[in-house]
A and B are shown apart, each in its own frame.
Chain A
Amino acid sequence: MSLAVSVDGLVKRWGTTTVVDDVSFAVPEASLTVLLGPSGCGKSTILRLIAGLEDPTEGRVRIGARDVTRVDASKRGVSMVFQSYALFPHLDVFENVVFGLKVRGVAKAELARRSARAIDMVGLEPYRDRKPSQLSGGQRQRVALARAIVAEQPVCLMDAPLSNLDAKLRATMRDEIRDLQQRLGLTMIYVTHDQTEAMSMADQVVLLREGCIEQIGSPADLYEKPASAFAARFIGLPPMNLLPAGTEGPARMGIRPEHLTLGPEGIAAEVAAVDYLGAETIVRLKTDDTVVMARVQGKTDLVAGTATRLSWRPEDAHFFDESGVRRDGL
């Protein structure tokens, strides 16, 4: 059982500052939507508005067919994983997981069955009796996941759940969360500032900037057809190169680093630095007016100071006007 979520014209103001400014999007059931953006873009606030932890200044929140804008958080049918995990420090793993079931008065047999399944799913069976302080960061994260799973709510909200973990663990947990979401058929809304998480996990990405939606689309859409210069620069590592596009037409032209070819043709450039990363090499080049990054497969013989030329296929170029909005064609 899973339900679609939609928000419509959501606005949140604190005094005179507008944190969320007219945000609308829909999350299809049993899919994973990532709210992506730099810190302070309002993504966490949107999640809290959906959860019911904050009241919107304007707009509505819908879960399934129900308008839940004024419904109490506990009656919205959502579970949530907090950035800090929000585990109860005085309760052991089992008690943390079954806290909500006990509060809601779930019968003993069902409580045992559901908690055993949830704890087993996240692989915490051996740690049932441990307190949060006796667990590692990754294990605490799993307790928080188990608590969300055991609630068996149709919608699961995740507030930057991996931001306190190290890089390696983050990659593992990313896969596990995505796997759980698909296995349980959850509708999941996932907040992060990490583009890797967004690209690898999302069915749909909502890219935010200063409280407004910059672009909505699949990870491939965002990468291949960024709707704005901001989107182009935010997604991709290194980010898309933006070059002045000449005197007529759009103001700027964008090219992904992997679409640049170094060779005898094109505009003149000088190699400024070479970062060898194993499978690829990132070359930083200085042209007449700007600095660009190029991605080269494997190793390169180029060294700093070498003069070279840059070229690209016309179909790989993106164009943006003065305000940064995408322009297709010239």
Chain B
Amino acid sequence: MRQDTLRHVYGWLLLTPAAILLVAFTHYPTVATFINSLFSKGNPIRPSRFVGFENYALMMEDPIFWKVLGNNAIFALGTIPTSIALAIVMALFVNSRLPGLGLVRMAYFTPTVLPMIAVANIWLFFYTPGIGLIDQILGLFGLPGHNWLGDPDTVMPAIIVMTIWKEAGFFMIFYLAALQNIPAELREAALLEGASRWTYFRRVLFPLLMPTTLFVLINAVLNSFKLVDHLFVLTKGGPDNASNLLLYYIFETAFSFFDTTYGATLTVVLLLLLAVFALVQFFLLDKRIHYR
């Protein structure tokens, strides 16, 4: 009996350090954020009070919330499929045995090494009206320049292109690792059977890459909500929220407008969204994926 108790104590003691870290930095903040979102914004005259789901009702009527959510959807749809497709194409290319591909591989991976802030600075130089690289090139052909980041119609595409440039090389590494684990005989067997390169890709290679694709997809979706560093450098969400994303809006609400309870409300929505995405991807796609 005593021996048994001792064993339990011993077990719990081993778990405690990890449990403290998890609770203190993950679970407690999540719960606290949710509780926070149920209170009104306090000020010296009117202290914060419990308002139930009022903040959520307010959010539903907040046009900026819907705007940034829509922007985030556009940002995700604009970046994810393209960067994954590009990653696969680049991985297939650098997986072949041509001389000098080591350099190409490194070149593809370079954007990944750079911090997003640095990337944004580089692209700021590309996009700057008049003196930027793009406008200078356009000028060579006698074409008029354009304020890429200042025009609500072009600011999202501009940011999407930059993000793809940054992300595709990162995803390529995972595809390259997966490709190197696929034996060459599979390709030879398929080609002997009369399969074209495309058929081989569609019927053999792509299905075998699915575990990697799921992993990359989850990462890409999370990134499309997490990655807002570039907004600080490039646009600050403007013009007129045309490039604002959910996480940046949360930052603005909580730390620029100091509306912490509304910030908490938006955070809960962001967490729910991410959880739903992860679960859907996992359960819908996982069944159709072959793991070796």
Which A residues fall within an 8 A CB radius of B?
51-53, 73-75, 78-80, 82-84, 86, 88-90, 99-100, 103-104, 131, 133, 147, 151
Contact = CB atoms under 8 A, between A and B. Distances in A.
Contacts of A74: 191-195
Interface residues of B, number: 18
Contact of B189 (A75, A82, A104, A131): A82
A51 B203 CA distance: 22
Nearest to B194: A74
A186 to B, nearest CB: 15
B194 A84 contact: no
Contacts of A86: 183, 185-186, 188-189
Which 7 pairs of residues, A with B, have the shortest CB-CB distance? A100-B193, A90-B290, A86-B185, A86-B189, A74-B194, A103-B195, A90-B207
A103 B194 contact: yes
B292 to A, nearest CB: 6
Contacts of B207: 90
Given A86-B185, A90-B208, A73 B292 contact: no
A79 B183 contact: no
B193 A151 contact: yes
A104 B192 contact: no
A79 B192 CA distance: 7
Contacts of B162: none
Contact of A80 (B189, B195, B292): B189
B208 A89 contact: yes
Contacts of A79: 192
Contacts of A89: 208, 290, 292
A99 B199 CA distance: 11
Interface in B169-206: 183, 185-186, 188-195, 199, 203-204
Q: Which of B183, B185, B188, B189 has the most CB of A within 10 A?
A: B189
Given A82-B189, A84-B183, A103-B199, A133 B292 contact: yes
Contacts of A133: 292
Interface of B: 183, 185-186, 188-195, 199, 203-204, 207-208, 290, 292
A103 B193 contact: yes
Nearest to A105: B194
Contacts of A80: 188-189, 192
Nearest to A96: B189
15 contacts: A74-B192, A74-B195, A80-B189, A83-B185, A84-B183, A86-B183, A86-B185, A88-B190, A89-B290, A90-B204, A90-B207, A99-B193, A100-B195, A103-B190, A151-B193
Nearest to A85: B185
A145 to B, nearest CB: 13
A73 B192 contact: yes
Given A99-B190, A103-B199, A84 B185 contact: yes
A74 B199 CA distance: 13
Nearest to B185: A86
Contacts of A104: 193-194
Nearest to B196: A103
A287 B191 CA distance: 57
Contacts of A90: 204, 207-208, 290
A53 B192 contact: yes
A99 B203 contact: yes
Nearest to A102: B203
A131 B193 CA distance: 20
B210 to A, nearest CB: 8
Contacts of B190: 88, 99, 103
A41 B121 CA distance: 59
Contacts of B188: 53, 73, 80, 82, 86
B47 to A, nearest CB: 61
A51 B195 contact: no
Given A53-B192, A84-B185, A100-B195, 19 more contacts: A51-B192, A53-B188, A73-B188, A73-B191, A74-B192, A74-B194, A75-B194, A78-B192, A82-B188, A83-B185, A86-B185, A88-B189, A88-B203, A89-B292, A90-B208, A90-B290, A99-B193, A100-B192, A147-B193
Contacts of B290: 89-90, 131
A46 to B, nearest CB: 15
A88 B190 CA distance: 9
Contact of A82 (B185, B191, B292): B185
A80 B191 CA distance: 11
Nearest to B193: A100
A84 B189 CA distance: 11
Given A53-B188, A133-B292, A88 B204 contact: yes
A135 B250 CA distance: 53
Contacts of B189: 80, 82, 86, 88, 147
A237 B205 CA distance: 45
A14 to B, nearest CB: 13
A82 B192 CA distance: 11
A124 to B, nearest CB: 18
A51 B192 CA distance: 8
Q: Which of B185, B190, B192, B194 has the most CB of A within 10 A?
A: B192
B236 to A, nearest CB: 47
A74 B189 CA distance: 10
A147 B203 CA distance: 16
Contacts of B191: 53, 73-74
